[in-house]
Homo-oligomer: A and B are copies of this chain.
Amino acid sequence: RRAAVVVGLDQYVDQVRHLLRPGTQVRTSGLGDEELRAADAVAQAAAGNAVALLGSGDVGVYAMASPALLQAGEDVEVVGVPGVTAALAAAALLGAPLGHDHVSISLSDLHTPWPVIERRIMAAAAADLVTCFYNPRSKARDWQLGTALDLLRKHRSPQTPVGAVRQAGRPGERIWWAPIADFDPADVDMLTTVIVGSSTTTVVAGRMVTRRGYRWSEDVPNMIE
């Protein structure tokens, strides 16, 4: 709120516009202008302005902090404000699927070549990691999630729960899960986060839960977050 200049995606700025002080300079742009927006924020900061670069979720996770920090020099002071990233928001709605080791993988192969993504999915499958997919499916990218689930099916029991949350915490929120044998990628779009359980993830009273450890009898202090 102390920022003199706010830079962000138009739809995100609209969500906080009522919080801005009168006189705040607002510089919005649309989807696809990420690098330009980052450059703009850095230039405004280098010129001596207090700049807020907005993101939804956590700005450091698949978002604007990386491109901005790659361009910001020593002369720009940066304060990162951590947020609740999509994986955590979705997880809380599903139960506690991230209770033990977990990985976040973006299925967008526009930035990253598919073989790199596939290698990461196979590693997650083999190492029995709870797997959270960002950017799971869009109109143009309609086969990646199905392929990813096929890779995981080779290493997980057919009963492994797969949870999905669309529009977490926003109007139109939808929460569902299905065994990996039955989960239908067609229900998923780019506003959805998908979490695939590990071998220790179960559904208890309708909630998706990953045990905190493989052995449960001896409890340990520093296991607590």
Q: Which residues of B contact A124 (CB under 8 A)?
A: 103, 123, 127
Q: Is A65 an interface residue (CB 8 A)?
A: yes
Assign chain A's interface to a size class: 35 or more
Chain B residue with Cβ nearest A127: B123
Task: State whether A102 and B100 are in contact (beta carbons under 8 Å apart), knowing that A58-B88, A92-B81, A221-B32 are contacts in the complex.
Answer: no
Q: Are A99 and B129 in contact (CB under 8 A)?
A: no
Q: Is A185 an interface residue (CB 8 A)?
A: no
Task: Tell me, in angstroms, the Cα distance from A70 to B220 when the chains sit together.
Answer: 18
The segment from A19-27, A106-114, A156-164, A176-184 that touches chain B is A106-114
Task: Tell me, in angstroms, the Cα distance from A85 to B91 when the chains sit together.
Answer: 12
Q: Which residues of B contact A146 (CB under 8 A)?
A: none
Q: Is A205 an interface residue (CB 8 A)?
A: yes
Q: Are A101 and B105 in contact (CB under 8 A)?
A: yes
**A67 interface neighbour in B89, B212, B220, Cβ under 8 Å:** B212
Q: Are B96 and A65 in contact (CB under 8 A)?
A: yes
